[in-house]
Amino acid sequence: MSKFVKNLVVGDLQNRLDGVEEALLVNVIGLDANRSVVLRKQLREKDIQLLVVKNSMARRATEGTALAPMMEGMEGTLAIMWGADNIVSLAKEASRISREKDYAAFEARGGVMDGEPMTAERVMEISKWPSREEQLSILVGQILSPGGQLAAALVGPGSALASQIKSKAEDDE
Regions of the chain where pLDDT drops below 50: none
- Per-residue pLDDT, 77: 81
pLDDT at res. 24:
92
Tens of pLDDT, residue by residue over 41-64, are 999 999 999 999 888 888 888 888
Residue 45: predicted pLDDT: 92
**18: how many CB neighbours lie within 10 A of its CB?**
9
What pLDDT is attached to residue 75? 82
